[in-house]
């Protein structure tokens, strides 16, 4: 299918999806039992996908193959994300994970989707990526103590870039973006649900507070990524992926206000660079 250009409306919609993404990640970071939280997130995804599929029907066979591959990658992403949150602070791991993917997606979209971006768009993506990673480094460089968390966050970023490309190609072959999204959610939820069923006793599943937090995070996750997948059918993959990662600005604000993590002048400068990148991408 042909892909239109990025518009101000799509830009605002994708930024909104980024805000939702930062919120569900903050819930996951704060959770004491992240495996159970992700199991409930998977439950929300599975139920949502099942309900939508009853309305839309399945996507094309080719798109279903992409959704299956993406679901496997998403499980790896969830595991890497849980590990990065275990090892480091929210304001370190989240920006590094999200900041490593835009340039990788831009390169991948050029190689596998034939997308060619303007010089201004490429400059904007580069500025955005630098600003995103800078948000994670209040002193300007990572420390030895931060190395494990940084490594886990970079691995998470690689999975983000991979599933973004797979989903961008798959959703464009689906005929209906919502049928692809629904199948993806249906497939990616059960693995962590199964792991939690094996590793957690029944009384943990009955904990109402854990359930409500997990389902809330799951609802936000479904909404955020559903919007992104729809946007990928309307604008270039690299531009959507880059703008989505403005979620780290919202994450930095959450880290400062909810988790009491530092947000100083360097991070304000990084936020300004991110804003500059968005403007350049939209020109």
Q: Which of 165, 169, 180 lies closest to 1, judged by CA? A: 169
Q: Does residue 246 belong to any structural domain of this protein?
A: yes
Residue 2 in domain? no
Give the helix/strand (H/E) hosting 208: helix 208-232
Residue 194 has pLDDT above 70, yes or no: yes
- On whether residue 3 sits in a domain, the answer given is no
Cα–Cα distance between 52 and 75 in angstroms, integer?
21
Residue 140 lies in a domain: yes
With respect to residue 1, please indicate whether it lies within any of the assigned structural domains: no
Nearest to 93 by CA among 101, 106, 105, 83: 83
Assign 119 to helix, strand or coil.
Answer: helix
Residue 60 lies in a domain: yes
Q: If you average pLDDT over residues 133-161, what whole number do you get?
A: 77
Instruction: Give yes or no for a contact between 197 and 22, defined as CB atoms under 8 angstroms apart.
Output: no
Count of structural domains within the chain = 1
89 located within any domain: yes
pLDDT of 139 > 60? The answer is no
- Taking only the tens place, the pLDDT of each residue in 36-82 is 999 999 999 999 999 999 999 999 999 999 999 999 999 999 999 88
Per-residue pLDDT, averaged over 150-178, amounts to: 90
Tokens of 204: 């943990």
Write b or e for each residue in 230-255: b if 16 or more Cβ atoms lie within 10 A of its Cβ, otherwise e: bbbbbbbbbbbbbbbbbbbbbbbbbb
What's the pLDDT at 272?
75
pTM above 0.85, yes or no: no
Q: Percent of the chain, pLDDT > 70?
A: 90
Handedness of CA 32, 77, 147, 100 (dihedral sign): negative
Q: Cα(220)–Cα(32) distance, rounded to whole angstroms?
A: 19
Residue 93 belongs to a domain: yes
- 218 pLDDT higher than 60: yes
Average of per-residue pLDDT across 213-221: 94
pLDDT-based confidence at residue 262 (cuts at 50, 70, 90): low
Mean pLDDT of 19-47: 91
pLDDT at 211 over 80: yes
Cα of 117 vs its chain's centroid, Å: 22
84 exposure class (CB count in 10 Å sphere: 0-12, 13-18, 19+): buried
Check whether 138 has a pLDDT greater than 70.
no
Does 100 or 138 have the greater pLDDT score?
Answer: 100
Banded model confidence at residue 88, pLDDT cuts 50, 70, 90: confident
Local confidence band at 179 (pLDDT 50, 70, 90 cut-offs): very high
What was the pLDDT predicted at 134? 74
Q: What is the pLDDT of residue 283?
A: 57
Mean pLDDT, residues 73-102: 84
282 pLDDT band (50/70/90 cuts)? low
Range of the domain at 47: 8-282
Mean of all residue pLDDT scores within the chain: 85
């Amino acid at each position: 299918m042909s892909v239109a250009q990025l518009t101000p409306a799509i830009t605002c919609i994708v930024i909104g999806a980024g805000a939702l993404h930062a919120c569900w990640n903050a819930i996951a970071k704060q959770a004491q039992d992240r495996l159970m939280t992700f199991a409930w997130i998977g439950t929300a995804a599975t139920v949502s996908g099942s309900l939508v599929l009853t309305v839309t029907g399945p996507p094309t066979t080719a798109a279903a193959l992409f959704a299956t591959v993406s679901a496997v990658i998403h499980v790896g992403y969830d595991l890497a994300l849980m590990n990065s949150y275990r090892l480091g602070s929210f304001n370190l791991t989240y920006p590094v994970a999200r900041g490593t993917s835009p340039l990788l997606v831009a390169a991948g979209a050029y190689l596998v989707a034939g997308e060619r971006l303007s010089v201004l768009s490429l400059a904007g993506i580069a500025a955005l990526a630098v600003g995103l990673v800078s948000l994670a480094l209040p002193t300007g460089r990572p420390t030895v103590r931060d190395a494990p968390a940084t490594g886990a966050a970079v691995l998470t970023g690689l999975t983000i870039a991979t599933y973004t490309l797979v989903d961008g190609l798959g959703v464009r072959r689906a005929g209906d973006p919502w049928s692809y999204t629904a199948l993806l959610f249906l497939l990616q939820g059960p693995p962590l649900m199964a792991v939690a069923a094996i590793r957690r006793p029944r009384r943990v599943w009955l904990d109402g507070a854990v359930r409500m937090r997990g389902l809330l995070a799951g609802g936000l996750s479904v909404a955020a990524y559903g919007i992104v997948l729809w946007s990928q059918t309307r604008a270039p993959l690299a531009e959507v992926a880059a703008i989505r990662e403005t979620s780290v600005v919202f994450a930095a604000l959450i880290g400062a206000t909810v988790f009491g993590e530092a947000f100083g002048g360097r991070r304000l400068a990084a936020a300004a660079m991110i804003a500059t990148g968005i403007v350049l991408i939209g020109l």
